[in-house]
Structure 1
């Protein structure tokens, strides 16, 4: 019971922050699963499954607000899902330390870039929506999908910043796309692929699912109410903390 209460509290905080920042739930949720005794592959598969519920909670809020464009959503899914499945099959072949170090450098760089660009993502400036620029953006989404399927945390943050930087979305809308499409569909595909290889620890799944749905809904609500500046600051905080955590794990 104490383990379940601790897991619920940590997961609720992690998923609320993730719903505000557009990723990073694994910063807290995966380590607590490892701390409570799960092997890494099982903890990763269980975390991915719980992240699907984060997408459910955010979807409930964002669909009611009419935030998402169906054609743009289809692009993100078509580009990213094949990469997620590929990445989930590659993870067992990549040395953990190399993977964690690469992800730490990339994640920290995202936070620093956003900090050094004060106006980035505060207003929507649509761009790169046709021709080779659209295809180039989709290719990057595919590569992020590979990372999402193979690594533990931070890849939702990559999607959020790419949607802001390349396609010109404001942070609030980019986070909505990330939570719904990455949280619900990318993580769902990754969880299924990893579960087939490593299995899931089912006794803790109900606790994680409740915390994820509630955290996703609360974070999405505050993002819609408070606006882009709060979301941008949460994004920067979570990316820097995630990067630091990954550096510590790598060494």
Structure 2
């Protein structure tokens, strides 16, 4: 039965991470429930999922850096301010009722998807704004709060970052997805995984190689597709993922 579990995990993780890399988040929609379905306790599944998601960031980063989709300054800024929140969130998860928090997050993500749907021109062109010191400072507070969500919950924070970058800083969807995959997928999830383990959770090592491989391949495939598709198409995938993730967290 072990090889059946491994095959199921690989296919599920591959699909989840390809979609996440293409639309800017949501890998936990399928990958994390799979780990629970195959019998891992919540905290073990969360830590394993966080660590495996680092490979999603690696796969996406390899493509986006090659395409010069982002700058190192932007990556450093988002990584730094968000990582503070991630560490806080990883230590808060043991104090917060998970079901209530996930429903609140689900409602928020669903609302963001609806908002994006009705804002037809949102993120279709890069329209830089809030790039003064005050704008970066205020945006940093927003990213820190999303980092807390990332550190404490399993799915959806990447989608929040993607839309936040589009709405607050005026990035196009392509730019926002690239930044999210590198900063959240690689750095936030890596730091979150370490923080969760230090907080007392453990990783299920036997399944980690399969998850890492599927996450890396899925991240690379999704990033490749995102550089080839239009902002309108990526926006539509983003809205579909927010609908699915939001409904999953709510119900």
The two structures have a TM-score, normalised by structure 2, of 0.97
Cα pair 2:104 2:250 within 8 Å, conserved: no
Question: Match for 1:169 among 171, 193, 208?
Answer: 171
Structure 1's consecutive aligned runs of 4 or more residues displaced over 4 angstroms after TM superposition are: none
CA distance in 2, matches of 1:69, 1:219: 20
Structure 2 counterpart of 1:87: 89
Please report how far the alpha carbon of residue 227 of structure 1 lies from its aligned counterpart in structure 2 after TM superposition.
2.2
Matches within 5 A, 1:116-195: 116-195=118-197
Question: Match for 1:75 among 64, 77, 101?
Answer: 77
Structure 2 counterpart of 1:218: 221
Structure 2 counterpart of 1:38: 40
The two structures have a TM-score, normalised by structure 1, of 0.97
* Aligned pairs, number: 248
CA root-mean-square deviation:
0.7
CA distance in 1, matches of 2:215, 2:57: 8
CA distance in 2, matches of 1:132, 1:226: 33
Matches within 5 A, 1:92-103: 92-103=94-105
Please report how far the alpha carbon of residue 70 of structure 1 lies from its aligned counterpart in structure 2 after TM superposition.
1.7
Cα pair 2:81 2:144 within 8 Å, conserved: yes
Question: Match for 1:106 among 108, 122, 128?
Answer: 108
Please report how far the alpha carbon of residue 216 of structure 1 lies from its aligned counterpart in structure 2 after TM superposition.
0.3
Please report how far the alpha carbon of residue 108 of structure 1 lies from its aligned counterpart in structure 2 after TM superposition.
0.5
SS of 1:73's partner is helix
| 1:100-142 residue CA offsets vs partner (Å, 9 max, x unmatched) | 1111111101111110101100100011011322211110000
Please report how far the alpha carbon of residue 73 of structure 1 lies from its aligned counterpart in structure 2 after TM superposition.
1.6
Structure 1: gaps spanning 5 or more residues: none
Structure 2: gaps spanning 5 or more residues: none
Structure 1 counterpart of 2:208: 205
SS of 1:200's partner is coil
